[in-house]
Amino acid sequence: MTRGRIRAKLRRSQLYTFACLRPHVNETEGSVQGCPRVIYCNQPHMHKKRPLKYCTNYISTTKYNFFSYFPKALFEQFNRVANIYFLIAALLSVTPLSPFSPVSMLLPLAIVVGVSMAKEALEDWRRFMQDKEVNARKVSVHVGNGVFSYKPWEKIQVGDIVKVEKDQFFPADLLFLSSSYEDGICYVETMNLDGETNLKVKRAMEATSPLNEDEAFKEFTGTVKCENPNPSLYTFVGNIEYDRELYAIDPSQILLRDSKLRNTAHVYGSVIFTGHDSKVMQNATTSPSKRSGIEKKMDKIIFILFAILVLISLISSIGFAVKINYQTPQWWYLKPKETDVYFNPVKPLVPGLAHLVTALILYGYLIPISLYVSIEIVKFLQAIFINQDISMYDDESGIPAQARTSNLNEELGQVDTILSDKTGTLTCNQMDFLKCSVAGTAYGVSPSEVELAAAKQMAIDLEEQNREIANAKHKNSGSEIELETVITSNDGNDFKRRIKGFNFEDSRLMDGNWLKEPNVDTLLLFFRILAICHTAIPELNEETGNLTYEAESPDEAAFLVAAREFGFEFYRRTQSSVFIRERYPPKGQPVEREFKILNLLDFTSKRKRMSVIVRDEDGQILLLCKGADSIIFDRLSKNGRMYEEATTKHLNEYGEAGLRTLALAYKQLDESEYSAWNSEFQKAKSSIGADREATLEHVSDMMEKDLILVGATAVEDKLQKGVPQCIDKLAQAGLKIWVLTGDKMETAINIGFACSLLRQGMKQICITALNSDSVGKAAKEAVKDNILMQITNASQMIKLERDPHAAYALIIEGKTLAYALEDDMKHHFLGLAVECASVICCRVSPKQKALVTRLVKEGTGKTTLAIGDGANDVGMIQEADIGIGISGVEGMQAVMASDFSIAQFRFLERLLVVHGHWCYKRIAQMVIIKDFPT
């Protein structure tokens, strides 16, 4: 976390034009239809009576409360077959039919159930303490007369005006009223909501943005009419009546609970949804109840033992009835004429049935109740061992491993398939600027981790080849092949400071040498695009005196660091301008340049590009654009494709090296062209209606065409420490590893090589769908038939493989996977996948991750483990037999949904091998299950 103050003051109307997707004109229609919730801002006392009495801001994530603990916990315990049997036996033991004291049956049952309930209570108590800590957080609340004082979160009410300061979490869902920035913007980090690390720009109500001081809220009132609580994070329907005028509320004006305020001194907001009405709590899902394989196996054994017990008791009762009927009348010393229900030679059936109950109790110790006590103790102690294992403690983050449930400990030793996310799980989600292509020339000589892995494998192969040649010639000094070291040792470069986000090495561009290159003008434009085309904020680190950047994505921050190192430092942003320090070594002192920002068209997952329209010091209007290469290339003019062929070649090379790429382009505008477009853009921005966003995108597309290609960038997402070694050991142990990622196929393949998931000599099977623009039924059937044929041919190829050591890797993309997961094809796909040593699914959605996990779990019948670090991995984690969350930088949703949490992927090896094997071995010895794998 950087320190210092943000000195820039921004104005929304000029800087964040496209991103401000909201109307600011007055509404005259009254309340919004379908908006039954009424909120009186700054008047919380109005919400004390129904129908305006809303829930408190107190939240609870526990399974039980004081009143529900005993009934719910007892219900959980008697879901077990054995406990039901012991309960029945205990109830029968209090009848005259019991052959011994009821205490001998009731006490063991009470111990078993009590120990299990105590364990449940302890685990729930930890959740309660976490909730208590959250509810006790303090936030500044308006108490009247323009005075704010701190209150705990749980005391906040609907309608309160709260003041949230920098690096604090929002205590409830707030209507954004104003900010410390005079233009009413703020930056929000939403890791805990959607797993995304990039910052989001939020904008206050235009009418309320001047209320940026405590005293301004002395007389402030407003009435909000909005939708009822719902789980949709990205939508909001409502309006606010303020100062006798009606304003529509846009989703960009809602600050959601559990997101964090960044890069802004403070913001003011009115509470809209509290507690369990907030969107984050509406999205909270209870983790499914998971039971281990041994526990399920024990239930089957209990059924078998119970059947044997009934059979033995039935034989005994039949023999007893026969004895009473035929022989008891002759036993005068038993007084056969003094009969009762339990002893009647005339009606032997009733004594026989009574004896059946007695026999069931007498022989009941065939089912060992002490086994459950022992297993619960082993699991509980094992969870303590996991939590206190120093070998799984991460020194960098200070995060230990955590067993969030002890019910699945022994399952860790039975894992057959691991399904893993990539970004943030296998990689660090830390971007380094590594290479670039400018004017058709490739720059950057530093190797990526993929290239290092390939070079290492090549060295091994060449060494083996040399050894074979030497043995064949029977010479002591055979031909030697010397490999040039791919990257020099750091020992000789200790004086060089390591720069976070910048790992570029090429003397042609560094230290001002780019001025000697043939395409100086293009290089100058390339560097300026990096320094200007962004939404980042510079912040001065008071300890080091250097500028750091808070950007919406790690890629963007890496671009700014790269621009600074190349001599183009973005150092200040004002209301409508960006200031750059440009260093030209021959001239000595840096030159400060101002670029006036006219419009900014934000990056979205749909647009896959962002553009900024600026006016330079010479009055020239420029559109600077960066985005996915496929999007940019489609928008190039005929005269702008000069470097397309060379750049495409370099982009393919960067993709093979496992790098993330973006293309950069620009366009010169004349005054009349820009004025005409801007008029249309402002008109579209001011419109109200369902097609407003579509109109904005259409107008933006009109401008983002006829571009001129400048070059491309390549950044690297570093692997986490120890990932290749961990995956290699897990693969040697026979575990199948699947990687489910949203990256494109080329990047996923090369990351697979870098982390040892793919190896040289491994045969790759790529399943891809036909490119068809048609959406008709016949076209879809043709695509499905083609995919099925590919799967069938690949399966046949594996069956006909004669090399026993041959290994296959299956690679499939999300579009193809959508067809492969359909009911009539999913079993064919699974049959092929289980025959492969590694599986990579790329371009997959969160829903597809969960569906793949379910298919593997249900289709193979073996234990699956899913591991991820973000909100998009929650479905996969909950669907797997064992879910593991990485306590990384993408929030806590994955951790909260998981059964175990670790700080880094490399700890997975110890969790499975050491703890999983230890716990399984001991429990299996107790249960004596011989058909379980060891």
Catalogue the active-site residues: 421
What gap in Å lies between CA 868 and CA 905, rounded to an integer?
Answer: 9
Cα–Cα distances in Å, from 512 out to 345, 434, 487, 562, 713?
Answer: 113, 18, 24, 13, 19
278 secondary structure, DSSP code: S
End-to-end Cα, the chain, rounded Å: 47
What gap in Å lies between CA 112 and CA 83, rounded to an integer?
Answer: 8
| Bridge partners, residue 595, by sequence | 578
What gap in Å lies between CA 840 and CA 420, rounded to an integer?
Answer: 10
Residue 51, preceding bond cis, omega within 30 degrees? yes
Q: For the chain, how many residues are written?
A: 934
- Reference 905, options 726, 757, 742, 717; nearest CA is 726
What gap in Å lies between CA 663 and CA 655, rounded to an integer?
Answer: 13
Q: What is the CA radius of gyration of the chain?
A: 34
Please name the residue ranges forming H helices in 714-759.
723-732, 745-754
Cα–Cα distances in Å, from 797 out to 759, 792, 832?
Answer: 19, 9, 10
The SS3 call for residue 829 is helix
> DSSP for 515-582?
GGSS-HHHHHHHHHHHHHSS--EEEE-TTT--EEEE-SSHHHHHHHHHHHHHTEEEEEE-SSEEEEEE
Which residues, 6+ apart, have CB-to-CB distance to 765 below 8 Å? 794, 797, 808, 809, 810, 811, 832, 836
Q: Nearest-5° angle of CA 725, CA 728, CA 734?
A: 145
What gap in Å lies between CA 29 and CA 483, rounded to an integer?
Answer: 76
Strand 238-242 to 222-226 pairing: antiparallel
What gap in Å lies between CA 409 and CA 431, rounded to an integer?
Answer: 36
Tokens of 389: 């294992």
- Residue 293, phi then psi, degrees to nearest 5: -65, -35
Tokens of 762: 């491994």
Tokens of 279: 């969107």
Lateral strand order in the sheet of 708-719? 441-443, 427-438, 708-719, 660-669, 621-627, 609-615, 591-601, 577-582, 568-573
- Residue 687, phi then psi, degrees to nearest 5: -70, 160
